[in-house]
Amino acid sequence: MDMGLSEGPRPLAVSDGGRLISIASDGVVRLWTVDPMHPGPTLAASDSALMRFVPVGHQLVTAGPAGVVRVWNTSNGAEEWTFYAHVGRVCAIAGSPDGRTLVTGSALGEVKFWDLRTGRELMAFHRHAGAVTRIEFAGDGSRMLTAAEHASGTGELAFWR
């Protein structure tokens, strides 16, 4: 199916249930409903280097190289929140399984927790010596894993409860 992209797709995300996909291209993010394939809202998210659907609800989170994180309503394409999350690049994002908390990781090793209902920062930790490259929650939300990569090419993991 032709999705109308004039350049190759860059960041993309698939919702947990596989019902929605998002593709960044041409300075916007396009949402698509799957089965049958049907175009949804187009988001004015020109700085999106990362994208991730929040497991519960109708939200897509995008992050850019300047430390800006945006939360979008996938039903209508409206921007709900903008976080100035980190100094420099946001390298990883994840939503908790209950859809209440967003976690962001920076190029400087910082991990921050955000309330997705209010947009308020809950806490921040400088947990890693390198860029946080991955954030994953256990299915029940009781644990979280962050991964970081050092300039030397070595990595580290941190387990959270």
pLDDT block averages, 10 residues each, the chain of length 161: 53 87 86 87 83 88 91 92 91 94 95 93 94 94 94 90 89
Amino acid 91 reads: C
**pLDDT the model gives residue 11:** 83
Question: What is the dihedral sign for C-alpha 90, 149, 159, 95?
Answer: positive
pLDDT of 8 reads 54
Residue 35, pLDDT score: 79
What ranges do the domains of the chain cover? 12-160
pLDDT at position 76 is: 92
Q: Is the pTM of the predicted complex or chain greater than 0.85?
A: yes
- Specify whether the CB–CB gap between 110 and 91 falls below 8 A: no
CATH fold of 12-160, please? Methylamine Dehydrogenase; Chain H (2.130.10)
User: Do 107 and 138 touch, CB atoms closer than 8 A?
Assistant: no
